[in-house]
Amino acid sequence: ILARIHPEKQQRIYLSAHWDTRPFADRDQNRPKERFDGAVDGASGVGILLEMARILSADQGQIGVDIVLFDAEDYGDPNEGSSYCLGSQYFASHLPAGFKPEFGVLLDMPAAPAATFYREGYSMQYAPGVVAKVWSIAGKLGYRTFFVNENSGPVTDDHYFMNSIAGIPTIDIIHHDPFSKTGFGAYWHTHSDNMEQVDKTTMQAVGHTLTALVFMEKPKTAANP
């Protein structure tokens, strides 16, 4: 799903999330074959972007914003990384006409209480400047406890294919728990991923940071390349 805000503006960035949810809670100890809500892993990123779409469409910002919601991100086989992110793999290989953002930001699991977003490995490999910009904004807004100034390992997520296939510098704001076996929150792919895990303070930190990012971007000119 692609939405274009102020499509007449030539200078653009894109914001993204996946709107699908894994069709079974295979990490759950009791009901691994049943569906689960996916309130954090999937829905929360979409929720933030829907609110941002409302805000940005009502404000004459200086740049354009494309919002991309990917499908089939979370259906894959844990033993085969390329079986995930099918929507972004297709999108990156078949970019729509006129889709030429300077960079992008992906949201994944941006809602758990006291979530921590580390500087993810592929983000640092492909778009370290964007990481530095976003983390700097978050720090100035008072969100350093969420946006941790430490690196984490690479995660196969939609941003990887937007970088490696489409060549668009893209970072991943993803909840990372360095103390868990999976590297993600305990709710991940279990029936605990429901509305009780959704924290408005965490969502505010992410949404506020991204909104500031958009409004701080200036059109490039000869004096401001």
Query: Which uninterrupted H or E stretch holds 140?
Result: helix 128-140
Place of tokens 């668009």: 168
CA distance 54 to 85: 26
CA distance 28 to 14: 34
What pLDDT, on the 0 to 100 scale, is given for residue 142? Answer: 98
CA distance 68 to 53: 11
CA distance 225 to 223: 6
Sequence letter at residue 54: R
Please report, for residues 17, 43, 90, 200, 218, the alpha-carbon distance to residue 47 in angstroms, rounded to integers and kept in the order given. 9, 6, 23, 11, 26
CA distance 112 to 206: 11
pLDDT tens-place string over residues 45-86: 999 999 999 999 988 779 999 999 999 999 999 889 899 999
How many other CB atoms are there within 10 angstroms of residue 214's CB atom?
20
pLDDT tens-place string over residues 126-176: 999 999 999 999 999 999 999 999 999 999 999 999 999 999 999 999 999
- The model carries a pTM of 0.96
Would you say residue 43 has pLDDT above 90?
yes
CA distance 7 to 15: 14
What pLDDT, on the 0 to 100 scale, is given for residue 219? Answer: 81
Helix, strand and coil content of the chain, in percent to the nearest 5, comes to 35, 15, 50
Would you say residue 222 has pLDDT above 60?
no
Orientation angle between helical segments 200-216 and 45-57, nearest 10 degrees? 40
CA distance 202 to 117: 10
218 against 180, higher pLDDT: 180
